[in-house]
Amino acid sequence: MKKEQTYFDVIVIGTGISGLYTALSLDEKLNVLIISKGKVDNCNTIRAEGGMAASVGKEDSPLLHAKDTIAAGGELNDTQVVNIFTNEVLERIRELENMGFKFDRDESGNYILGLEGFHSVRRILHYDGDKIGKGIFKFLFSLIQQKKNIKILEHAYLNDLFVDENKKYCGVQILKNNELHVLSSKILVLASGGYAGIFEKSTNDPFVIGDISAIAYKAGAIFADLEFVQFHPTVLFKEGFEPFLISEAVRGEGAILLNSKGDRFMKNYHLKGELASRDIVSKAIYEEMKKQKNQNIYLDMSIIGKEKIKKLFPNIYENCKIRGIDVTKDKILIHPAAHYTMGGIKTNIYGETSINGIFAVGEVSCNGLHGANRLASNSLPEALVFGKRIAQKINMEEFDRKREVAIQKSLPAKLESKIAFPDKEEIKKDNWKYLSIERNGKNLTNYKNYLEPYFVEALNLDTNENSSIYSYIILSYLLTTSALLREESRGSHFRLDFPTAVENFRKSICLKRSDDPKCAIPIISYIERR
């Protein structure tokens, strides 16, 4: 980025598949800046192992894909969004292939399709076995580098975003090299990932902690479904190493779960056994840990066979080997971890948020696709479908390059906290204790009351790189508020005091900051999903 350049037609926050694909789909006449908090590859896309779900098989259809998505989502999905997704994903897959991306095929040229939890048929497209994330990132980034209209700014932190008196977006404040800079643009696209990183046990990249979501909330964006956090059931934790997710795809090929006694247990919890949806498997593992009075749950891949493991899961094989585990013969000690967030900034079918000029795409957004629990391998293709829709919407806009968008708000004075905030690691541990797989009203109430004074204070403080505790507090409080309001169990949200789904709760809970600066309590509203 040229030092003197402060105006762009479109600014994109995030360098995962959502941000890169959206930027690539924009008209080449538009001047685009992509901002990454860390390096360009500090994103969750890199870590994706499963694949992309699409009804490309002969026995499959968009209708069946939609049915599975809604079943996994606890029937809290927006059916219009689901149908758009399952139909348009086929176009996006073809488009990717026309651009040069190559999904795995057999010797006859047919797709090698995988099976994952709650899918009725094999429909998971792969790249180089289990390297879909790395493959799609490298492919899209290589195309970005060829675009003269797109610039990438690394190691730049979004510190604030500006909304004028008409509630229209007009620019951002970024922190780079310990200096604050103001950039203006007509359009802002948020593609920064979810908030699963606020938990002690998480599969997220360390840079993906939901801080952009906190900033958007402070700016007035409406949020939905924040209580729905997906806990991936099979994550390998080993001291000295980052947590490593073991893809659900291994269970699709026959891998089994065993308790501390060496017994299979999943059939005791669901007819689909190991291929039940992620929320069910994670809950079953949690229950089995309590029954056995220890946390020793194992994943056994060995029955898949050595050659098949090396062919289909080379990334898992190598990463486990680095950690001293030979998955062709050793059992893997696993534990559930926060993996994905279904909730986020509320958007329509074109990715538009409640703030004029701001779009959101991917995990940072909530368009109703996933409902109460995401169907496996729907996240990467979601980015393609709705990234394309956002770009198409933006491409129809008129851009006046004769003048920059005026930013009326001056740089804020640095505000110091009046109270001592807890440590980030403390909050992450508390989130795991009170907001993970099992929740109850008493603990939620107590935790909400504990967080509230910090939440009120955090709303008035700069959410900057060095004080991301404010983001942790804001998101933890909002999640707790939504979880307390949902007096039922549905999808990834399980209440011990309300253990069943309730028909009256087939609705999304929405939260928004009050327009009254003196009121810190969120405004609550609902969207019926019947």
**Which residues are catalytic, by number?**
278
Q: For residues 372 and 489, give the distance between their C-alpha atoms in angstroms, rounded to a whole number.
A: 10
Radius of gyration of the chain (CA): 22
Q: What are the E-state strand segments in 36-103? A: 52-53
Q: For residues 121 and 55, give the distance between their C-alpha atoms in angstroms, rounded to a whole number.
A: 9
Q: For residues 509 and 528, give the distance between their C-alpha atoms in angstroms, rounded to a whole number.
A: 9
Q: For residues 518 and 529, give the distance between their C-alpha atoms in angstroms, rounded to a whole number.
A: 33
Q: Tell which phi-psi region holds residue 220, choosing left (phi > 0), alpha (psi between -120 and 50) or beta.
A: left
User: Measuring CA to CA, which residue among 451, 455, 450, 458 is closest to residue 416?
Assistant: 458
Handedness of CA 218, 224, 227, 229 (dihedral sign): negative
Q: For residues 79 and 75, give the distance between their C-alpha atoms in angstroms, rounded to a whole number.
A: 9
Sequence letter at residue 347: T
Tokens of 526: 């609902």
Q: Which residues of 242-276 are buried (b: 16+ CB within 10 A; e: fewer)?
A: ebbbbbbbbbbbebbbbbeeeeebbeebbeebbbb
CB-CB contact of 461 with 360 (8 Å): no
For 166, residues 6+ apart whose C-beta sits below 8 A from its C-beta are 356
For 217, residues 6+ apart whose C-beta sits below 8 A from its C-beta are 223, 474, 478, 511, 513
- CA 360 from chain center: how many Å? 12
CB-CB contact of 375 with 69 (8 Å): yes
- Locate all alpha helices (DSSP H) within 145-265, ordered by sequence: 211-219, 249-252
209 CB neighbour count, 10 Å cutoff: 26
Q: For residues 146 and 71, give the distance between their C-alpha atoms in angstroms, rounded to a whole number.
A: 41
Helix, coil or strand: residue 232: strand
